[in-house]
A and B are shown apart, each in its own frame.
Chain A
Amino acid sequence: MSATGLRFGAPTGWRGWLLDAAPASRRQARLGRWYRAWLGLYRNGLAMTGLVIVLALVLVAIFAPLFANHAAAFTQTLQDRLQPVSWAHPFGTDELGRDIYARVIFGSRITLTIVALVSVIVVPVGLGIGLPAGYFGGWIDAVLMRITDIFLAFPRLVLALAFAAALGPGIENAVIAISLTAWPPYARLARAETLTRRNAEFIEAAELQGASHLRILFTQIMPLSLPSVIIRLTLDMAGIILTAAGLGFLGLGAQPPAPEWGAMVSSGRQYLLDQWWVATIPGIAIFIVSLGFNLLGDGLRDVSDSRAG
């Protein structure tokens, strides 16, 4: 049993207020639900590890200058090229004498930017297609879902590759290319979520009160669909990061001298045998961050859906 279940008597104080079986206000009910979800997550060690990694990524990206020296990441000092790991250079230096530690730290900004931009594009597009499809049904549903299925059947990396190749290399185009191939699952998810609620009584009540379709979609259905969309997004993040790093590795992502992790692995390839740290350390950063998102996503899914094992 859970740690809270072993205590005798109901919890008191603010925890009691949050865990109250009969909340007195909507705010209390909502905060209580969040708190219970948090407790579920908190008990899951792996998920908490994931959360810590993701938070660390965000903090490091925002406060990068506090963790590393900006000049060390970008200034070329050729007499210091390909230095091994030392106190001055914890991860060694690359082929242009730049500090790899500083570059990995500043590279987190690029990763976070890509992740944020893709989310900002993919979620509205997915909701924009999935919600009306599930809500209106009929031919609107048929047409929208057919388009979604077509995009779903495409090979993701290859298509992103072709887009990036046609649009030209660069971080913006990488984001567009990934987004174009990443939205269909969200449309399907939003549709499924809408279908389960379409005939609920509270929707009928809203309709009877004269709410417009748009209003019902935005105020009733969308807020209820968002949690599962966000969980799905967390689970997808690892894939998005790996695709972005793959594009970077192929030279289609952020361009030099930007410290993009995938591109750093690629530039270290030719020194792999003698200076292993140049190629492998940025790869470890990619691995840890995508593992963090996977762990967190798994935990969130377990909390939201007790059937998932």
Chain B
Amino acid sequence: MLFSVALTFLGLTCVTFFIGRIIPIDPVLAIVGDKASRATYERVAAEIGVNLPIPVQYWRYLNKVLHADFGVSLITAHPVLEDMTRVFPATMELALLALFVGTVLGVPLGVVAATHRGRWQDHVVRFGSLLGYSMPVFWLGLVGLLLFYARLGWVEGPGRLDVSYDDIVPTVTGLITIDSLIAGESDVFWNALSHLVLPASILGYLSLAYVARMTRSFMLGQLRQEYVLATLAKGLSPFRVVWVHALGNVWVQLVTVIALTFGSLLEGAVLTETVFAWPGLGLYMKNSLFNADLNAVLGGTMVIGVVYIFLNMLSDVIYPLVDPRARSRG
């Protein structure tokens, strides 16, 4: 399994390397500018190695990536890795809360849909999921802002904090809600939460759609099994059979689903963070995109790609740990 993870990672580096090569901008010219002398041009070209054979260039690139060196960002003039460690907690804070919302609501809804198959509860959950599947996240974000921020004033608008609360709490975890609790600044906490709640609910709804749908189909598979009938015949309450026995058996599969949901939340961050001016990895990548800052874009792609591969692997590892049936199969 480690082999396949390594192979996938190599594949990812191949693709990012390829993207870096097909860009129609001369990388040397981008550094030296068009007024540089021929000699300077040649020197820089040799320095960054554009004239070397492709496999050699790839090897150099791979080496850098393995040392977590994604180059220097053109706009911020910091190393890309440094930029990304700075912005990543913002994305984490958003994605974690969204995942929490999606799981805590999505799993019970999926279970209810499965136990009430074909009745109105099932139809409501299925149709609600379908709506979530079909909505463009950036549009939902804008509608949410229009309604809950501009019209009703229930939540704060774009950004992570009001300007007046900036730089009050020292950074510990990078998650402002947690940092403000550590510092004991309840005003900052409530302000941060009020900014967080809308984007997190919107992303949470979208992940809820997926989690509820998968829970429903896993549960339907379990409820068909004979042990359900047996435990019921033994006199266990239907509630216990459904929520303890059947749900206990699908929990492992759900871990995979939730891990993948988290991956897609990171991905969707580019759109959500653009709408909510949320200073995370997605907004960082979006801004880099429009300043032709390819190092930053590819660095971000690489980081999200690695997290993605890692999550895939994680669910493969957790599976046999939690489920003895998967262990024997190897």
Contact = CB atoms under 8 A, between A and B. Distances in A.
Interface of A: 46, 146-147, 149-151, 153-159, 161-163, 165-168, 238, 242, 245-246, 249-252, 262, 265-266, 269, 272-273, 276, 279-280, 283-284, 286-287, 290-291, 294-295, 298, 309
Contact of B130 (A162, A276, A279, A295): A295
A265 to B, nearest CB: 6
Interface of B: 4, 7-8, 11-12, 15-16, 19-20, 22-24, 117, 127, 130-131, 133-139, 142-143, 145-146, 150, 216-217, 220, 263-264, 266-268, 270-271, 274-275, 285-286, 289-290, 294, 297-298, 300-301, 304-305, 308-309, 312
A250 B8 CA distance: 28
B146 A298 contact: no
Contacts of B146: 272-273, 276, 280
Contacts of B23: 166-167
Given A149-B8, A155-B305, A162-B301, A283 B142 contact: yes
B7 A250 contact: no
Contact of A280 (B22, B139, B308): B139
Contacts of A283: 136, 138-139, 142-143
Given A155-B304, A246-B136, A294-B130, A150 B11 contact: yes
Contacts of B294: 165-166
Contact of A163 (B7, B19, B130): B19
Given A155-B266, A162-B297, A265-B139, A238 B271 contact: no
A47 B27 CA distance: 51
Contacts of A162: 16, 19, 297-298, 301
Contact of B217 (A154, A167, A291, A309): A309
Given A150-B11, A250-B274, A294 B136 contact: no
B220 A309 contact: yes
Determine which residue in A156, A245, A250 has the highest number of CB atoms from chain B within 10 A of its CB, and name it. Answer: A250
A107 to B, nearest CB: 13
Contacts of B24: 167-168
Contact of B142 (A147, A167, A242, A265): A265
B131 to A, nearest CB: 7
Contacts of A276: 146
A146 B301 contact: no
Nearest to B301: A162
A85 to B, nearest CB: 15
Nearest to B12: A154
A242 B268 CA distance: 11
A153 B308 CA distance: 7
A287 B139 contact: yes
B130 A287 contact: no
A147 B143 CA distance: 40
Given A154-B12, A272-B145, 7 more contacts: A161-B270, A163-B19, A166-B23, A167-B24, A249-B136, A250-B271, A265-B142
A134 to B, nearest CB: 19
25 contacts: A154-B12, A155-B267, A155-B304, A155-B305, A157-B267, A158-B267, A158-B301, A158-B305, A162-B297, A165-B297, A166-B19, A238-B133, A249-B274, A250-B270, A252-B289, A262-B138, A265-B136, A265-B139, A279-B139, A280-B139, A283-B142, A287-B136, A290-B135, A294-B133, A309-B117
Contact of A150 (B8, B264, B275): B8
Given A151-B11, A283-B143, A159 B22 contact: no
A298 B145 contact: no
Nearest to B147: A276
A142 to B, nearest CB: 11
A233 B146 CA distance: 34
A153 B309 CA distance: 6
B109 to A, nearest CB: 15
Contact of A156 (B11, B22, B267): B267
Contacts of B150: 272-273
A167 to B, nearest CB: 7
A283 B140 CA distance: 8
Nearest to B292: A165
Given A153-B308, A161-B270, A309-B220, A286 B136 contact: yes
A237 to B, nearest CB: 11
A3 B220 CA distance: 27
B164 to A, nearest CB: 21
A51 B248 CA distance: 38
Contacts of A157: 267-268, 270-271
A38 to B, nearest CB: 22
B134 A246 contact: no
A245 B145 contact: no
B263 to A, nearest CB: 7
A290 B4 CA distance: 34
A251 B290 contact: yes
A22 to B, nearest CB: 34
Contacts of B268: 157
A155 B308 contact: yes
Nearest to B308: A155
A158 B22 contact: no
A91 to B, nearest CB: 15
Contact of B7 (A150, A154, A168, A298): A150
Contacts of A163: 19
Given A161-B285, A166-B20, A298-B130, A155 B263 contact: yes
Given A158-B300, A280-B139, A165 B289 contact: yes
Contacts of A284: 139
